Amino acid sequence: MKSPPDAPPFPVLNEAWFCKHGFDSRRSSQLATDWRTWLADHRRVTRRGMYRKALELTANVHAGSVAHYLSDDFWQKLGDDTLRNLDAISRELGFDPPRRSGTRQRMRSAHRVALLAELSGVPSPRYHLEVIRSIVHASAAAHLAVSIHELSQADTRMKATLARIVRHNRPHGLIWLRLTPDWASREFAWSRKLPMVIVHGDRLADYTRPVIGHVVPSQKPIRQAIKQWTRDLRVQGGSLEVVVATMRREPSATSIRNERVDLVKAGIREAGFRATEFLVPDYSASTALAILEAHPSAAAYVCLSDEIAIGVKQLLVFKGRKEAGRVVLGFDDSPLAARHGIWSFSQHLDEIGNRVRELLTAFFEQRAGSPAAWPEFQEVPVEVNLTPRE
């Protein structure tokens, strides 16, 4: 995978580049934007780093697949067509494809994993789908076969529902997305020796086997980032009010959402401003008008979703506020935020999928070597960072 000493300049990854590789014009435009955004977000961009990201975007594969492609052993997990495509793109980018000694070995059959999630009435359907996509893509790179099943936190017969899913689908592991398994469900999973990975559930102190890991956002940076962002505001008309658009507090004392809102409000207060909560029924853009009608002259708006933030910004632009792009902040750092120039907190969704995959593959590999072993529970943080825009 070495670039020749006299390698030509790195190709320009624009819309024409992606169109040439089979994407339609709309998708090509988005990929070109993603490439430029990635370059802008990395102060020290190396040629190797550009190569890896260009492979990921051009071949339309997950970053984990690129890592497999460049590894000495895991390339065998990729299909022949994927390998040929990545080889061809490597040459176009000015890199020699990796040299592989030996022949492809037969890989072990895939483990089946059941992903449990609420599929209706979720606060932010777009975010929910993006996290599911991240988990599915990362798992596929490790040959984990993921099936998706609906389960509700309000289900009073959670164990019975879980038992039915396990009986019909016979998974080797369970992923709980934004759900917290009750004690009976954990006991049932342990009786079947099914490892559980929880993603953004309640941060309980009594997690033990079969729960092997809990992927949680590391939210402490939010407070300082909000404080600095608020201090840099150009106050309009002397207002010191910053509106925080969020859903009603959750009853759990270990709620991730509650912690997030508390950190946001603390950062605003430490900057010398007043934090005002505005409760929304969900995180869709349709709530933006009600926010502005209730607080038309606020200094700024912190929205717990990018969709709300974009709606608020567009309404402010329509009302003639020139600094609209600077006084609205979102959450998730989605492609929408980049497209509309919204400052947003990134939860690094791809990293969520990678951490889930790593927990499960490590478990399956360990169990294959030592069936009696069972890992201790671990909390796996994924840091939340503010992504600025021009």
Same domain, 181 and 269: no
Distance of CA 149 to the CA centre of its chain: 20
Mean pLDDT on 324-336: 87
Mean pLDDT on 192-210: 92
How far CA 265 is from CA of 179, 223, 294, 343, in Å, comes to 25, 8, 19, 17
With respect to residue 20, please indicate whether it lies within any of the assigned structural domains: yes
CA pair distance 92, 200, nearest whole angstrom: 40
CATH number of domain containing 263: 3.40.50.2300
Confidence class for position 3, pLDDT limits 50, 70, 90: very low
Same domain, 155 and 207: yes
Give the pLDDT confidence score for residue 287 in this predicted structure: 95
Least confident of 22-36, 154-168, 191-205: 22-36
With respect to residue 185, please indicate whether it lies within any of the assigned structural domains: yes
Residues 6+ apart with CB under 8 A from 69: 55, 75, 78, 82, 83, 86, 98
Beta strands in 190-272 (DSSP E): 196-199, 211-218, 241-246
Same domain, 199 and 170: yes
Mean pLDDT on 331-356: 88
Average pLDDT, the chain: 88
With respect to residue 253, please indicate whether it lies within any of the assigned structural domains: yes
For 58-116, what is each residue's pLDDT tens digit? 988 777 778 888 887 777 767 777 888 899 999 999 898 888 766 655 445 579 999 99
Q: Are 257 and 247 in contact (CB under 8 A)?
A: yes
Instruction: State whether residue 51 is helix, strand or coil.
Output: helix
With respect to residue 97, please indicate whether it lies within any of the assigned structural domains: no
Give the pLDDT confidence score for residue 235 in this predicted structure: 62
* Percent of the chain with pLDDT strictly greater than 70: 92
Q: Are 163 and 152 in contact (CB under 8 A)?
A: no
- Which position has the token pair 């300082």? 224
Give the pLDDT confidence score for residue 230 in this predicted structure: 93
With respect to residue 105, please indicate whether it lies within any of the assigned structural domains: no
With respect to residue 160, please indicate whether it lies within any of the assigned structural domains: yes
Please count the structural domains in the chain: 3
Same domain, 142 and 233: no
- Interior angle at CA 199, CA 198 and CA 203, nearest 5: 75
Q: Is the model's pLDDT at 16 over the cut of 50?
A: yes
Cis status, amide bond into 381, omega within 30 of 0: no
Domain extent for 68: 15-92
Same domain, 51 and 199: no
Residues 6+ apart with CB under 8 A from 229: 267, 329, 343, 386
Residue type, 294: A
Confidence class for position 42, pLDDT limits 50, 70, 90: low
Give the pLDDT confidence score for residue 271 in this predicted structure: 94
Same domain, 84 and 132: no
Residue with the larger pLDDT of the pair 112 and 44:
112
For 248-297, what is each residue's pLDDT tens digit? 998 887 888 999 999 999 999 999 999 999 999 999 999 999 999 999 98
Q: Is the model's pLDDT at 337 over the cut of 90?
A: no
Same domain, 354 and 205: yes
Confidence class for position 6, pLDDT limits 50, 70, 90: low
Residues 6+ apart with CB under 8 A from 178: 117, 118, 122, 128, 131, 199, 200, 201
Residues 6+ apart with CB under 8 A from 78: 65, 68, 69, 86
CA pair distance 349, 127, nearest whole angstrom: 9
Give the pLDDT confidence score for residue 109 in this predicted structure: 52
Q: Are 57 and 13 in contact (CB under 8 A)?
A: yes
With respect to residue 187, please indicate whether it lies within any of the assigned structural domains: yes
Same domain, 144 and 289: no
With respect to residue 306, please indicate whether it lies within any of the assigned structural domains: yes
Give the pLDDT confidence score for residue 176 in this predicted structure: 98
Give the pLDDT confidence score for residue 112 in this predicted structure: 93
Give the pLDDT confidence score for residue 318 in this predicted structure: 93
Q: Are 12 and 32 in contact (CB under 8 A)?
A: no
For 122-164, what is each residue's pLDDT tens digit? 888 888 999 999 999 999 888 899 999 999 999 999 999 999 9
Confidence class for position 2, pLDDT limits 50, 70, 90: very low
Beta strands in the chain (DSSP E): 111-117, 144-150, 173-177, 196-199, 211-218, 241-246, 274-279, 300-303, 328-331, 343-346, 378-383, 385-387
Residue with the larger pLDDT of the pair 343 and 335:
343
Least confident of 26-40, 70-84, 231-245: 70-84
Give the pLDDT confidence score for residue 1 in this predicted structure: 45
Give the pLDDT confidence score for residue 328 in this predicted structure: 94
Same domain, 354 and 335: no
Q: Are 203 and 214 in contact (CB under 8 A)?
A: yes
Same domain, 230 and 338: yes
Whole-model pTM over 0.85: no
Same domain, 355 and 340: no
Same domain, 209 and 354: yes
